[in-house]
Amino acid sequence: MEIELWWLLVLPAFFGLGWIAARIDIKHLLKESRALPRSYFKGLNFLLNEQPDQAIEAFIEAARVDPETIELHFALGNLFRRRGETDRAIRVHQNLIERDGLSAKQRLHALSELGQDYLKAGLLDRAEEIFVKLRGTDRDDEALKNLLEIYQQEKEWAKAIAICDAMPNHSDHLWQKEIAEFRCEMAANEMLHDRHDEAQRLLDEALAANRKCVRATLLLGDLAAKVGAGETAIDYWKRIEQQNPVYLALAAEKLLAAHIQLGRKEQGIQLLRGWLERHPSLDLLDAVFRAELDNDGAEAAYALVRDELRRNPTLLGLDKLLEAQILVVPPEKRADLELIKNLIHNHTRRVARYRCDACGFKARQFYWRCPGCGGWETYPPKRTEEFDITL
């Protein structure tokens, strides 16, 4: 292949142009770096050396020297909010909003950040006002997300449902579960004030939104029991086994009480024993143990726990077994057993907590909404030890 003569002329020209462009870029970069305040570089140095307090002070000085550093102001506001210094974050973002020459996009950004500052500070009315203003703008998704959180904190469930209806139908998250839970919250309030018809309507709507909503079925049973319809209440609570058997323990004592009221105590206990056999659960075991102890005495309760422990060995089950054994042994042997039980009980406190499936938050109390991440129905009535066994 022959090389054209004109190539020999063009190639040096290309190299020359590249060298000139590189020199121009370097000069431009040096010019920009000289224009930045010295405190800006001090702040970067403090950050690299993991000295956040000194870095923040340096960046504040940089922002004071050069007010045009818009992005630096946003960064400072975020830093203050994350550190819990919401007053300082609010001042930074308010100053940005009041600044002349800010583009429409930057102003919307500053408004959104200010709304998050108010939300973090617990100033929900002010946060709501800002996010309502952001509806229909480029920040609409952020506004919807934050308004939903505000209405949940304020227990404005009707408004929360309206926000869910306005949410984009993302393929990875539909909002039926949340809508059903919001209707359950409203129904529980109606039941508290003896407005039974309205509660029934809301619970029916909850199940229409999410037929797997255990809480709606549980509350329907509570509502039926409240008006004296024991058979109907039992039918509702029995449906939980098809919806999600993990939640059966929440209905166990209520179901037994309804059977006792109808004069069918033995039938109620047998139903609970069947649930325990098909769906082992430490909370369900506790409910059945109490029922056996009350109905058939300590020997029957001890036999129940012993058999269950053989099927599903757990420390919490062992703790229950020792409790049952103390009731049946002679008095002179109880002291040693009580000592062992106390040692086991102190150890089982760590594994006797509920845990969120989403964020891992642990607590001794059951919640329909996780206090850690705010997820609904992510916090099943299942002890930490049971999670570890199934892994």
Residues annotated in a binding site for Fe cation: 356, 359, 370, 373
- Binding-site residues: 356, 359, 370, 373
Tokens of 139: 């920040």
Tokens of 263: 């004069």
138 vs 319: CA distance, rounded Å: 57
281 vs 383: CA distance, rounded Å: 8
Three-class secondary structure assignment of 300-328? HHHHHHHHHHHHCCCHHHHHHHHHHHHHH
156 vs 296: CA distance, rounded Å: 48
What angle is formed at CA 103 by the lines to CA 101 and CA 104, rounded to 5 degrees? 130
235's torsion region: left (phi>0), alpha (psi -120 to 50) or beta? Answer: alpha
Contact 89, 56 (CB under 8 A): no
* Percent helix, percent strand, percent coil in the chain, to nearest 5: 75, 0, 25
- Inter-CA distances, 215 with 164, 170, 187, 199, 305, Å: 19, 25, 11, 13, 29
β-bridge pairing 354-355 and 362-363: antiparallel
291 vs 249: CA distance, rounded Å: 13
Tokens of 266: 């033995």
123 vs 144: CA distance, rounded Å: 17
Closest CA to 314 of 390, 381, 252, 380: 390
112 vs 104: CA distance, rounded Å: 12
